[in-house]
Amino acid sequence: MNESGLAQQLLNLIGGKQNINQVWHCATRLRFTLKDRAKVPKDKIEAFDGVITVVEASGQFQVVIGNNVGDVYHEVVKLEPSLSEGETSGETAAQGKMTFKSAFNSLLTFISGVFTPFLGAMAGAGILKGLLSLAVVMGWLTAKSGAYQIWWAAADGIFYFLPIALAFTAAKQLKVNQFVSMAIAAAMVSPGIVALGAKATTIDFFGIPVVPANYTATVLPILLVVVVQKFLEPVFNKLWHESVRNIMAPLCLLVVIVPLTLIVVGPISATVSSWLATAIVSLNKSVPILAGLVLGGFWQVIVIFGVHWALVPVMMNNIAQNGTDLMMPILLPAVLSQAGAALAVFLRTRDAKMKSLAGSSTITALFGITEPTIYGITLKLKKPFYLACVAGAVGGMIVAISGAGANAAALVSVLSLPTFIGKGFGLSVVGDVVAFALGTVLTYFFGGINAGAKAKTAPSANSEPGEVLAAPVKGVLVPLTGLADEVFASETMGKGVAIVPENGMVKAPVAGVIRLLYPTGHAIGIQSDKGSEILIHIGIDTVNLKGKHFQPLVAQGQHVEIGTPLVQFDHEAIEKEGYESTVMMIVTNSDQYQIATLGQGATDDRPVMTLA
């Protein structure tokens, strides 16, 4: 299914903008906050082609898509423009009783919504910083060369002016004037204030002594400032008549909040930041093995529950306060151990679909995107996930002992290694290699990768097949592997047949229950009474027709018999629209059967496949 089709189906099952408070995306997930979770059929969304899994955590309904999540998100916004990133659609759901859990979930939602929009830019800039550090260490560049200075500006800009970026996204989350928030942040990092902060020069504000701090690259101060703006902005909006509100309310906010920030908010957040950074550094210095064990072993568990967002500001704060962060290097073994486990699955599995997914997931995990690996491979098989956590814990302890730190924020991956150059770098690399190798070896030998696979033997000539599938439509039977669509031709979704239709009536090939019926009518899923899972897809890319030329004749959940009419379609009109009308019948749980295709050529309700 292409991105536009997936976006349409997601909106349909979630309930459209009427049931969505917010939607945004991170590196691999579409993240929804919903008004009524009970209305959403999680199992049906998980069955979509293009959806790896669905996770519910931190008060969010998270649809794991993979690397093309941004494309799916943009298609969602095209269909519902009001659902732009981080914004709400309509009135938010009624607030229930405030509990610690709901408050914590709201905090995580806020933090993730603040950081995710520019996480890619920040990660890229962090990697560039690391590569520049490597270039200086290797003697390829000098810090005074023009190339270094230009590239350093490109790498450092997003971090130096981080409060401005955070102001924009935080204001969007809290629904206050984003440009006023940015103006306040710009004042905090203006050259004059930065110069005063560097010299610790005390200035006077109507008799109140003010010691400006350095707010460049900081996180907590601007977040607190936007929270203050959330309370003050409605007051000033009510104070002024609408004819001058757009000018006078921002004026009042700047006059009040900027001094308040420098006098109160900034010093408080700076103190909290300093305490927090000191606590993290102290733990790593006093009991490094414990820090490595916990972070290396349980980081991916933290990611699953979405709680990792609470630690992102902490890591960035450590860099702002101390110049380095000791947590990020410890997290790399947790990432690499999952990549190693996926590699072991790729090497050992006998399932073609799993092998393909494991191969691609290994690569994406090495580059820091572990969700497809976790949800599609290791957690799905269970043992590989647990063994990878063990490997991550061992590697994490080695890295923690090394004392290595990151000098720039970056997506934790092999590309972030240059940002760790400095004290303990060599030993930290040893920890990374150990985590990857141990994750591979443990999973390969003890992961139970093929334990659930059925031993398959070719059926004898006289054996009765476990199930017979009739042709879903009259036409000419052709090999599935000859289709122009790579997904079907590669049999990634499962084995099956293709039929060039002679009429426009699709009938049930087996007796079973309609488990999936696309509103567009171009695809239908059946679970047979004997357990096979069958997808009938009419045409290639016909989801783009948005239901035109298709008429579903059954309802989801309905039980059908062999030959029951399912969908009526106009194959000639579809072809005139420029689409192929070939009908594909796929057994999506093919790995559970020995499948035989019964010939080719003309077919009319005769058996075309057997499952044993």
The catalytic site residues sit at 26, 537
Rounded to whole angstroms, the Cα distance separating 15 from 89 reads 12
Q: What values do phi and psi take at 422, rounded to 5?
A: 145, -150
Give the count of beta carbons closer than 10 Å to the beta carbon of residue 202: 10
Rounded to whole angstroms, the Cα distance separating 48 from 64 reads 11
Rounded to whole angstroms, the Cα distance separating 404 from 406 reads 7
Give the count of beta carbons closer than 10 Å to the beta carbon of residue 109: 22
Alpha helices (H) in 447-578, listed in sequence order: 486-489, 571-576
> Three-state SS across 258-273?
HHHHHHHHHHHHHHHH
Tell me which H or E stretch contains 586.
strand 583-587
Rounded to whole angstroms, the Cα distance separating 21 from 258 reads 31
Return the structure tokens found at 155.
């790498």
Rounded to whole angstroms, the Cα distance separating 310 from 103 reads 13
**Tokens 């938010």 correspond to what residue?**
92
In degrees, to the nearest 5, what angle opens at C-alpha 213 toward C-alphas 152 and 236? 105
Query: Nearest to residue 312, comparing CAs of 322, 325, 323, 298?
Result: 325
Rounded to whole angstroms, the Cα distance separating 482 from 437 reads 40
Pairing of strands 565-569, 203-205: unpaired
Give the count of beta carbons closer than 10 Å to the beta carbon of residue 245: 14
Burial of 339 (0-12, 13-18, 19+ CB in 10 A): buried
> Three-state SS across 168-215?
HHHHHHHCCCHHHHHHHHHHHCCHHHHHHHHHCCCEEECCEEECCCCC
Pairing of strands 60-64, 29-34: antiparallel
100: Cβ contacts below 8 Å, ≥ 6 apart: none
